Amino acid sequence: MDRKTLSQILAILLWMPLFLAPLLTAQPSIPAKATVSARIEYGYGLVFYHIELPEPTTSLSFNVSGYTGKLVLAVAQTERQRNVLAVVDKSQMKFAFSDPARQVNITFVFDIVTSNLTTIEIRFPIPLSPFGYATNVSGTASFSTGINVNSTFGKVMGSQVSYNATLPPASYDVIRGSTSSGQVPVGKIARINRTIILEADKIVYEDTVEILQLSNYPITSLAIALPVSYVFDGAEGLLGPYPRNYWHSYNASNSTLILITLMSSVQLVGQRTVLTLRYHTNRSNMINAYMGLGFVVTDYSVKLCIRGSLTVPQEFTTGETVTGSLQCYVLKPVGPLFQADLYPRVPVSNIVFKPSTGLSLAETVMILLVLILLLATGVFAVARIRRNKVEKAKEKVLTATTVPREVSEAIYKILLRREELLITAIENLNSLRARKAGTTKIVSVIREYEKRDTALETEVSKLLGQLGDAGREITNEMVRIKEGIHQRMNEIEKIERNYRVGRLDKKEYNVRIESLETELRNLAQKFRELAEKNI
């Protein structure tokens, strides 16, 4: 070998590390390992992702270019850290860990469903590998039978997509699919109004859940997951309390699954139904106010209430209200509800329970006995004076005897149910119009509403009879509200019939229907105002 050739070889050897350095440092030589499981639950796409990295890291980022607007929630857990929420930066989801981690479990939630009267479509992004790591990915995305899907990286078999490949860094799949709206049940929880009542020995939750139908396949059940320390007390719908055989509980490793059969199922796209869930746990000064029930909810309200007073840190509250005998603190939303322990608990202090102001049975009987004695020992000569004293004694007894708390609360809840029932009827009428249903079906919805509302009216009237003059005032106001509703429902029937026989053009029909619906919603609100003002 001559001297010139040797010099060339040495030069190559000297420069080679400079050329190889970027390749050696760009990504680990050993690929990461990931398993993925994906499905649709209550209208959202869920991805359960586990990754084992070749070396510990304090951060992970995933590519969701073009789909960041569809991301609802992304939360990670490591061996040492729970509930690390992702931060979205342009086209990336970024997780930052306080301690280096090799194994990470991540749950991604995407809003993936769009639907109309005839078709359901899905666009489901599936993160497969993080930035900086080639990844050996295995797992499946499963869908209801009847959904036709296609995938870029996965193997499609019927309504299932399988993954088993080593993919470059920052890879993600987008599963596209569609089906007839009558093929599969798809709905979501549109809203939850949560009231938490702090009692002396327990914390009571009342969740009013609004279910929205996204398909034309009936939704007949609702499943919730409660931590093991919680007890499910029952459910109540538009038809009243659910019988015990309408719900069943199943024990899991760290939770209790409650499966509820709906008494009022939703059948068609756009229909809604309302259900109130009640459950409780032991008393604590740390309130799990933002506890998820296993389904995703982005629209919700939370009130923390007590018959008395307490102190809630200002950073958790937006204001205070009084509902009946309850002092309530309105809490700020923190993010989508999903898992039971996703968000920090709300601390409360300076708890003071208001003592009962009602008379005991013995005290009431004693006052009545005194009244009877006064009446029995009256003297005709001073009958007028005695009569005045008796009337004053009667007023004193009536003033001192308070209506039982259970009665006032029952009245309050029935009035709210009347509001919910009317709103649901309006939504159902809208759905029928969108489907161009005939007058017969529309009238059937109106008659069903009137039947259920009359049952609620009868029930609440019996309770209002225990309130004396105040009860009569509320009853009179309810009658005025019902007359207004009845008048507008009759007008809707006439408009529907006139439109279908050609006596109204479409523009006038839409204007009049929209105006009547606005008036009906205002009347529905009056039930709530009546409840909050008087009960």
146 DSSP 8-state letter: T
Question: If you average pLDDT over residues 499-503, what whole number do you get?
Answer: 84
pLDDT of residue 315: 94
**Partners of 74 in the beta sheet?**
108
Backbone angles phi, psi at 358, to 5 degrees: -75, 150
Question: If you average pLDDT over residues 488-507, what whole number do you get?
Answer: 86
Distances (CA, A) of 177 to 72, 159, 213, 215: 20, 9, 19, 15
Question: If you average pLDDT over residues 127-134, what whole number do you get?
Answer: 96
**Over 80: is that where the pLDDT of 518 sits?**
yes
pLDDT of residue 400: 36
Q: Is 265 exposed, middle or buried (0-12, 13-18, 19+ CB in 10 A)?
A: middle
Backbone angles phi, psi at 99, to 5 degrees: -125, 145
| pLDDT tens figures, 246-290 | 999 988 778 899 999 988 878 889 889 899 999 999 999 999 999
CA separation for the pair 207, 276 (Å, rounded): 5
Distances (CA, A) of 62 to 14, 140, 313, 342: 37, 19, 36, 21
Structural domain spans, the chain: 32-180, 187-353, 401-533
pLDDT of residue 452: 86
Pairwise pLDDT comparison (170 vs 372), residue with the higher score: 170
User: Is the CATH number of domain 32-180 2.60.40?
Assistant: yes
pLDDT of residue 20: 42
Strand pairing category for 119-127 and 172-180: antiparallel
Segments in 257-404 forming alpha helices (H): 361-376, 383-400
- Give the SS3 label for residue 209: strand
Architecture category of domain 401-533 in CATH = Up-down Bundle (1.20)
- The confidence band for 428, taking pLDDT boundaries of 50, 70 and 90, is confident
342 DSSP 8-state letter: S
**Over 90: is that where the pLDDT of 150 sits?**
yes
Question: If you average pLDDT over residues 367-388, what whole number do you get?
Answer: 47
Q: Is 140 exposed, middle or buried (0-12, 13-18, 19+ CB in 10 A)?
A: middle
Question: If you average pLDDT over residues 486-501, what whole number do you get?
Answer: 87
Topology of the domain covering 187-353: Immunoglobulin-like (2.60.40)
Q: Is 306 left (phi over 0), alpha (psi -120 to 50) or beta?
A: beta
Question: If you average pLDDT over residues 119-140, what whole number do you get?
Answer: 96
CB 60 within 8 A of CB 77: no
**Over 70: is that where the pLDDT of 427 sits?**
yes
187-353 has the same fold as 32-180: yes
CA separation for the pair 437, 160 (Å, rounded): 36
